[in-house]
Each structure stands twice: as C-alpha cells, then as structure tokens.
C-alpha cells in the first residue's frame, strides 16, 4: 500500500495556498506547496460582499489546485476559509465554487481555531524554543495571536485587523499620510491592549504567513526569495522599525520593484509591517520567522482525524 497523500488549502483575504504532504513511516514529507495572490477580500470590509472579479480570481486558483490534487490522487483534503469568507454576504457563491473545484466542502473556521492551527504548524517546525511561545499570523483581514507552552494553547484570539483591512480602512493615500498612519496605529494598539495576551510572559515570538516571511526576505536583502534562509531567521525590533518606516513612505510602484516582492502584496506590505511593529512594541523577544503555518497544522490535523 502506497503512503497516503494529504492536502490542505487555506483561503485567506489576500491569498489562496496549498500544501500537499505524504505520510512516510509516520513522518510528513512535503510534496507540493503553492500560492496564488487573489485578494478575495477586495472591498469586503466596505461592501460586505465578494467582488465578482475577486471571486473569479479565487475560484480560478482553486481550479488549479483541484487539477493538481486529482492528478496526484490526493484523497484526504481539507479546505478552510478565513476572514473574508466570515464577512461576505454572498459567501454561497464561494462555497459552491470551491466544492466544484476541490471536491470537498470549504469550512469557515473561527479565528481562534485559525490561531491554534497556525500555532501547531509553527511550533512543530521550531523545536526546542524557549517557552511560552507567542505565534503571530498577520493575514489580509485579521491577525491571529496564540500564546502557549509546551504545545498547549493558553490563549488564542483573532483580531479584526489585517494588511488588506488596514489599507482599505485607513491608508487611502499613496504613500500614506502621517495622519492616516497615526489613525491606523491607534486602532491596532487598542486591539492589542484589549487582546488578553500577556505579552510580558512571552519568551519566544514566532511569526508565520506571507507578511512575515516577506519582511524577513526584505530585512535580509535577499536578491531572490529563499525559503531555507527565511525559515528560522530572526528579524530584530530595529529592523522592523526601519522596514516599517521605509515602506510607509514609499509609493506602491516603488515597493513593487523591491527584490522578492510580488505585485499582489506590494500595496499592503506596509500595513503588515505596521502591525508587526505594534506587536513588537508590546513584546521583548525578537521575531523568529517560521515557514510552517496553518497549512502544516491542518495537515497534522488530517493525520489525526483520519487515523493514518
């Protein structure tokens, strides 16, 4: 009997991502990992509905994933939808399209479960770190924070602030004005202060997701994106400050020209950097970057739920 294949699809506000892994002798081995930047959350914060073009881009990405999964013969699949799908009134179009392309129902998961899955994936890939660990995942529509020790979650929360949401709600100018940045900063700080996270107890701060990995690549001045150099890298508070200040005064067209920057992230990376800076202001440890995230947590969950 061949080793089983498992697939996880994470549909977020800014990107749709796929991880396919094979279970070999009780160990997960990555087979494929891919991403499409589709901006599903385009305008959802203002209108409460998916934009037709954003929905079409996302379903096209799912069609690409579905064709890959069918070709590989992946039978164990899980699809989750996060912040944008929680907020959209016309979500049935998304769900019908996702099932037709991926063969399984997409689930809208609570932000707290999203945080726990990110924690499981990130911590599993960074053994022997000091406890407690705070895992941060800055998405397009929300930011997940989960604090835990020795694999056990103590507190998890999903904050209604992400890179796309900050851009659409606060940073209307290109580049943003000082007044816009100040308003966004005050909003982020208020959410962090009310989060219930005991930042003073954190011994290790781990960041996951495209915003954080992009910031690491920029901080290292990588000429091309190098996953091996990003995973386990450390971004200091000083580097986060410098990056945030630089990105917030650059026009989007200039940001898009930076090495390793993909166009679909260029207009919102400054917002993600701002969120990371504000978390840094609450916390002592530097930011350790993990390439493993919610997708890895989902695959681990599939192994347990299917008793493979």
Count Cα neighbours of 84 within 13 Å in the Cβ-side half-sphere. 31
**pLDDT higher at 305 or 173:** 173
| Complete domains list, the chain, with CATH | 5-109 (3.30.420.40), 112-289 (3.30.420.150)
pLDDT of residue 167: 96
Going by DSSP bridges, is the β-strand pair 76-81/5-11 parallel, antiparallel, or unpaired? Answer: parallel
pTM of the complete model = 0.88
pLDDT of residue 1: 47
- pLDDT band at residue 255, thresholds of 50, 70 and 90? very high
Percent of the chain at pLDDT exceeding 90:
79
Question: Stretch 285-305: mean pLDDT, rounded?
Answer: 93
- pLDDT band at residue 116, thresholds of 50, 70 and 90? confident
Question: Stretch 58-65: mean pLDDT, rounded?
Answer: 97
């Amino acid at each position: 009997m061949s080793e089983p294949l498992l697939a996880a699809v994470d549909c977020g506000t800014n990107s749709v991502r796929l991880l396919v892994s094979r279970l070999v002798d009780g160990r997960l081995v990555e087979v494929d990992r891919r991403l499409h930047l589709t901006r599903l959350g385009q305008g959802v914060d203002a209108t409460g509905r998916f934009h037709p073009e954003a929905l079409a881009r996302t379903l096209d990405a799912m069609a690409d994933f579905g064709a890959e999964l069918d070709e590989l013969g992946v039978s164990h699949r899980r699809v989750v939808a996060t912040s944008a799908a929680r907020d959209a009134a016309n979500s049935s179009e998304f769900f019908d399209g996702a099932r037709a392309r991926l063969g399984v129902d997409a689930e809208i998961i609570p932000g707290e479960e999203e945080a726990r899955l990110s924690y499981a994936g990130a911590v599993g890939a960074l053994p022997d770190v000091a406890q407690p660990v705070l895992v941060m995942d800055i998405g397009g529509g929300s930011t997940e924070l989960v604090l835990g020790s020795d694999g056990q979650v103590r507190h998890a929360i999903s904050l209604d602030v992400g890179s796309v949401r900050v851009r659409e709600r606060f940073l209307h100018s290109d580049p943003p004005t000082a007044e816009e940045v100040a308003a966004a900063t005050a909003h982020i700080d208020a959410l962090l202060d009310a989060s219930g996270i005991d930042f003073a107890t954190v011994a290790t701060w781990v960041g996951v997701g495209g915003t954080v990995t992009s910031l690491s690549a920029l901080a290292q001045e990588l000429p091309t994106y190098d996953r091996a150099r990003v995973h386990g890298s450390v971004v200091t508070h000083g580097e986060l400050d410098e990056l945030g200040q630089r990105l917030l005064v650059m026009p989007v067209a200039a940001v898009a020209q930076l090495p390793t920057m993909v166009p679909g992230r260029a207009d919102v990376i400054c917002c993600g950097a701002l969120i990371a800076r504000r978390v840094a202001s609450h916390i002592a440890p530097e930011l350790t970057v993990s390439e493993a995230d919610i997708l890895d947590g989902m695959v681990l969950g599939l192994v347990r739920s299917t008793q493979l």
